[in-house]
């Protein structure tokens, strides 16, 4: 099966391309059912786009997610695991839906990810955590216990005894060396005169009598001076780590103040790599296939790649798909087209007419080899900039420009750009004192083209009108060259 692929499109349409039971781990973090507007900061910088969460009600959200989760359950192997990341807005409804799809007995964990400590809420207790549900798809899901360091308090309070091994093994604490319940085999036998069956309601040794002797010879058994059941010495320096439980409070969210600001791409729903590393390491092994069907800027994909898993990403947003591709190239040193591919980006005029305006602008600017304008709010008529190869760094530090020569790009997702559109772009070119600019639209009216000529004759400045068809043809020509 093909992996290392980012599919652009609704996962409901893309998932049928995958066969049954082919994926080891699914992680999804779909847009939440929240009432607030999300400020989406695509790419770097302060570019702001507000979009309304589409799901007017919880029922509509669940109706939207159910067929997608059914498809995800279909592609999951019987040994596979499914993680659904959400928050208080819909988590209870999501749990009921997932119980119905996977079966109540397949529910494994409700993980509480405490993503922030501060959340001012004067009307109630602040919401500081997300929920991640973990389901198995069969009886024996892959699971690798994850460990974290013990807290200093725990070590200080519990590891208080020392013996002749203190220099190498550190201090120790004493743990029970028996477990509850009777056993008929070796571990149920009398050892050093103690019958485990007679301890409490009946217990057994955690090791065979021979092993207990070896441990005693190595000084690892604590014999109470006044008699009684021996204990198991656990030394501080030999601690492997504390098994991670369902409360995850050791992974901070990505903010500009966090310890990992470099990781943050400025996309508010971006999850930290450490969170995905934990999920992927717990529920998959190297070489396994990880699928994120709402991959955003690709945290699960980058983590899977770093951890030597195969992966498949899906996102409905062409911009998100490009962000993932860029991240794989930059952070994982992969080569697009060789190490991974992006499929199904909008390629036809018809498809491009239908994508949201900001996706269209991104498409056009990227296709022209430009850089998106960072300040979207009040962009003053500039959607992107092209820095030609000969442009050099400027000393004049304006808030955006870092090169002396740049050409503005204006994008209009219109059937036909008219004279008024060109007039306002001319004003931009005059204001910014630019000699050349690019204007992208589906077509240009005769008036618009006449005005572009007149502007050149009047001011000596060039506006290059580009139709979507021109750009698509050029992309095709570049591909065939
Ligand atoms: C919350 S973000 C995911 C963030 C991601 N976990 C990360 O760390 O970057 C949700 C993503 O789901 C995508 N999305 C929304 N509806 C979708 C659909 N029907 N199919 C695939 N992706 C979708 C959005 O474009 C958005 O990028």
Distance from C-alpha of 349 to C-alpha of 142, rounded to nearest angstrom: 45
Query: Which residue reads 């120790």 in tokens?
Result: 172
Taking each helix axis from N to C end, the angle separating 91-102 and 58-75, rounded to the nearest 10 degrees, works out to 40
The alpha carbon of 313 and the centre of ligand 1 are apart by a number of angstroms equal to 10
Atom of ligand 1 nearest to the CA of 296: 27
DSSP 326-377: HHHHHHH---BTTTBEEE----SHHHHHHS-HHHHHHHHHHHTT-EE-S--T
Confidence at 43, pLDDT banded by 50, 70, 90? very low
Residue nearest atom 7 in ligand 1 by C-alpha distance: 270
Mean pLDDT taken over the chain: 87
**CATH label, 5-145+243-345, candidates 3.40.50.920, 3.40.50.300, 3.40.50.150, 2.40.110.10:** 3.40.50.150
Cβ-contact 134, 83 below 8 angstroms:
yes
* 38's tokens: 């999300």
Mutate to test the pocket of ligand 1, among 316, 319, 324 (most ligand atoms within 8 A of CB): 316
Q: Is the pLDDT of residue 472 over 70?
A: yes
Q: How far is the CA of 320 from the centre of ligand 1 (A)?
A: 8
Q: How far is the centre of ligand 1, averaged over its atoms, from the C-alpha of 6 (Å)?
A: 12
Give mean pLDDT, residues 104-113: 97
Q: How far is the CA of 29 from the centre of ligand 1 (A)?
A: 7
User: Which of 10, 15, 30, 323, when mutated, tests ligand 1's pocket best, judged by the most ligand atoms within 8 Å of its CB?
Assistant: 30
Question: Residue 248 C-alpha to ligand 1 middle, in angstroms?
Answer: 23
| CA 67–ligand 1 middle distance (angstroms) | 16
**CATH number of the domain at 350-480, out of 1.20.144, 2.40.10, 3.30.450, 3.40.1350?**
3.40.1350
Residue 418 or residue 36, greater confidence: 418
Q: Where in the chain is the domain with CATH 3.40.1350?
A: 350-480
CA 100 to chain centre: 26
Contact residues of ligand 1, CB 6 A cut-off = 10-11, 29-31, 269-271, 293-294, 296-297, 299, 314-317, 320
Distances in whole angstroms, Cα of residue 50 to Cα of each of 47, 142, 363, 366, 373: 10, 40, 18, 21, 16
Of 26-35, 45-54, 184-193, the range with the lowest mean pLDDT is 45-54
In tens, the pLDDT along 371-414 reads 777 654 455 778 988 876 655 544 444 434 444 678 899 999 99
Pick the residue whose CA is nearest to atom 4 on ligand 1: 296
The band of 476, judged by pLDDT with boundaries at 50, 70 and 90, is: low
Residues of the chain with CATH 3.40.50.150: 5-145+243-345
Q: How far apart are the C-alpha atoms of 286 and 299, rounded to whole Å? A: 17
């Amino acid at each position: 099966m093909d992996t290392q692929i980012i599919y652009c499109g609704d996962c409901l349409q893309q998932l049928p391309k995958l066969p049954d039971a082919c994926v080891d781990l699914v992680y999804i973090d779909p847009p939440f059912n929240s009432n607030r507007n999300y400020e989406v900061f695509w790419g770097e910088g302060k570019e702001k786009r507000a979009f309304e969460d589409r799901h007017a009600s919880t029922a509509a959200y669940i109706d939207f997610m159910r067929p997608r989760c059914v498809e995800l359950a279909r592609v999951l192997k019987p040994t596979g695991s499914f993680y659904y990341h959400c928050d208080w807005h819909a988590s209870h409804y999501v749990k009921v839906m997932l119980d119905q799809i996977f079966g109540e007995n397949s529910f494994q964990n409700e993980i509480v990810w405490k993503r922030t400590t501060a959340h001012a809420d004067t009307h109630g207790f602040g919401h500081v955590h997300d929920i991640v549900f973990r389901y198995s798809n069969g009886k024996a899901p892959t699971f690798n216990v994850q460990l974290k360091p013990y807290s200093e308090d725990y070590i200080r309070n519990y590891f208080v005894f020392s013996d002749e091994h203190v220099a190498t093994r550190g201090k120790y604490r004493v743990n029970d060396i028996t477990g509850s319940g009777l056993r008929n085999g070796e571990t149920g036998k009398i050892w050093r005169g103690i019958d485990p069956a007679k301890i409490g309601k009946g217990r057994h040794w955690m090791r065979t009598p021979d092993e207990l002797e070896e441990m005693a010879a190595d000084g690892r058994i604590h014999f109470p001076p006044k008699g009684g059941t021996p204990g198991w010495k656990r030394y501080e320096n030999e601690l492997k780590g504390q098994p991670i439980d369902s409360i995850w409070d050791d992974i901070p969210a990505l903010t500009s103040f966090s310890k990992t600001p470099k990781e943050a791409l400025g996309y508010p729903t971006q999850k930290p790599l450490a969170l995905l590393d934990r999920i992927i390491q717990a529920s998959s092994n190297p070489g396994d296939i990880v699928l994120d069907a709402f991959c955003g800027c690709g945290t699960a994909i980058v983590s899977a790649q770093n951890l030597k898993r195969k992966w498949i990403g899906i996102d409905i947003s062409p911009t998100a798909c490009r962000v993932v591709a860029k991240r794989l190239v930059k952070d994982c040193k992969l080569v697009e087209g060789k190490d991974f591919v992006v499929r199904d980006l909008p390629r036809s005029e018809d498809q491009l007419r239908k994508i949201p305006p900001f996706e269209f602008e991104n498409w056009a600017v990227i296709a022209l080899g430009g850089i998106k304008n960072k300040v979207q709010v009040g962009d003053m008529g500039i959607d992107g900039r092209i820095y030609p190869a000969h442009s050099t760094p400027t000393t004049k530090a304006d808030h955006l420009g870092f090169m002396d020569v740049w050409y503005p790009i204006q994008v209009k997702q219109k059937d036909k750009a008219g004279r008024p559109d060109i007039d306002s772009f001319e004003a931009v070119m005059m204001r910014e004192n630019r000699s050349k600019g690019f204007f992208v639209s589906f077509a240009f009216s005769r008036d618009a083209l006449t005005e572009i000529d007149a502007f050149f004759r009047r001011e000596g400045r060039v506006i290059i009108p580009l139709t979507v068809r021109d750009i698509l043809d050029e992309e095709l020509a570049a591909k065939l060259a």
